[in-house]
Structure 1
Amino acid sequence: MKAFPDMYHDQYSRTIFGFWMYLLTDFILFGTFFAVYAVLRKSVLGGTPPDVLFELPYTLWQTLILLGSAYTIGMGGAFAHRKQASKAMLFFGITFLLGVLFLGLEGRELARFIASGNSWQNSAFLSSFFTLVGTHGAHILFGLLWMVLILISVAQDGITAQTLRRLTCMRMFWQFLNILWVFVFTIVYLMGEIQ
């Protein structure tokens, strides 16, 4: 038995395809940032190198929190597809809290770098680092704001064909950010430790 009539299924498919196209452009943007970082990561200009600057255990906690949010948003989406609005909202709410925690830890890390004299203006390495990590953080912030708006819509209207499409796109965006973070963690932080 179908949850929604075919006309919604067609709209759902078009929306999801269009959102994949958007994610592709974001992938190209981040691919460029990764390439710039790879070229400039050793250009510290006598400043603090990555292996001294980064605290891997701190970043590992950030990573675990964000990966935990991948699980909770997946569960939220599963409940949304079953039209169980309260359970979906619970898991999206937990995802939101994990996202806020991740963003707070990332902001604290960047503030610590700046306070210790390591801002984006000090070297090409730090400029590319702040651009890459800052853009990811901006995407997380946008995702959190988007999540709030969608959850308000679900609270008012329940799980409709329209809110389901929005929740699905939101999940795709959040999972994309999780995948990007795995690359950030690996290329920036782990490789920075072994530089």
Structure 2
Amino acid sequence: MSAATATAAGDVPEGGVAPVRIVVAYGFWIFLVSDIIMFAGFFAAYAVLSGATAGGPSGRQLFDLQTTAIETGCLLVSSFTCGLASIAADVRNKLWFTVAMAATFVLGAAFVGIEVNELTQLVARGAGPDRSAFLSALFALVGCHGLHVTIGLLWLLTMVAQVFAKGFREDIMHRILCFTLFWHALDIIWVALFTVVYLLGVAT
């Protein structure tokens, strides 16, 4: 088998470099792992500072589990619709891909909207990030996750635009796969955040 044939088939040619799809996939996994490590640092900081309220309000006094549960439901359902979009892309169905991505966008935007409203209300109640170390860690962790979801929404719009403009080309399929992995990773991180910050915060 020639080097060109091997590359086209997705194999690593003898004595040559890896195909682009392997390099991209490997690089994206490195990005995801580094992102998770960053969030682990935020979680560690929050765990250390969660009791440092400086005489201010604690999570038990501030958190509304009903609102947070709605947030969680929006993000978890968006993970399901994102999976449907991935399946639609695999079968090259542009209509259902667009519908599923639109549903994912709406649910993700609802999540961000609820989160921004929640943090705004905390600031209005005098519980901003400058009130205590606990609140600084809270705003940093929750805000960082919300920023990632916002970036994911912009990425989603880009994917839909590329599919409409260029169809389901192989390079675009790779980007859709990367986006799907990114979105599911954000859902997993939120489940951990919901458990550690909100559930444990209300219980203690």
| Counterpart pick for 1:95 among 101, 104, 110 | 104
| Aligned-residue offset at 1:167 | 0.6
Select the structure of larger CA radius of gyration.
2
Query: 1: distance between equivalents of 2:177 and 2:88?
Result: 11
| Aligned-residue offset at 1:11 | 3.1
Secondary structure at the aligned position of 1:122 is classed as: coil
Question: Could you tell me which amino acid in structure 1 is paired with residue 110 of structure 2?
Answer: L
Gaps of 5+ in 1: none
Task: Tell me the residue number matched to 1:6.
Answer: 9
| Aligned-residue offset at 1:7 | 4.3
Gaps of 5+ in 2: 1-7, 13-18
| Aligned-residue offset at 1:12 | 2.8
| Counterpart pick for 1:187 among 196, 200, 203 | 196
Q: How does 1:146-185 map to 2 (within 5 A)?
A: 146-185=155-194
| Aligned-residue offset at 1:90 | 1.2
TM-score normalised by L of structure 1: 0.94
| Aligned-residue offset at 1:151 | 0.9
Q: Does 1:133 align with 2:136?
A: no
Q: Residue 142 and residue 32 in structure 1: after superposition, are their counterparts in 2 closer, same or farther (change >3 A)?
A: same
Secondary structure at the aligned position of 2:54 is classed as: coil
| Counterpart pick for 2:114 among 86, 98, 105 | 105
TM-score normalised by L of structure 2: 0.90
Percent identity over the alignment? Answer: 37
Q: Residue 104 and residue 147 in structure 1: after superposition, are their counterparts in 2 closer, same or farther (change >3 A)?
A: same
Q: Does 1:79 align with 2:92?
A: no
**Cα deviations by residue, 1:42-64 (Å, 9 ceiling, x for unpaired):** 10011111001000011001001
Query: 2: distance between equivalents of 1:175 and 1:42?
Result: 30
Pick 1 or 2: higher relative contact order, CA cutoff 8 A, min separation 6. 1
Query: 2: distance between equivalents of 1:14 and 1:82?
Result: 24
Question: Could you tell me which amino acid in structure 2 is paired with residue 17 of structure 1?
Answer: Y
Query: 2: distance between equivalents of 1:40 and 1:159?
Result: 47
Count how many residue pairs are aligned between Structure 1 and Structure 2.
Answer: 191
User: Would the aligned equivalents of 1:118 and 1:126 in 2 still touch at CA under 8 Å?
Assistant: yes
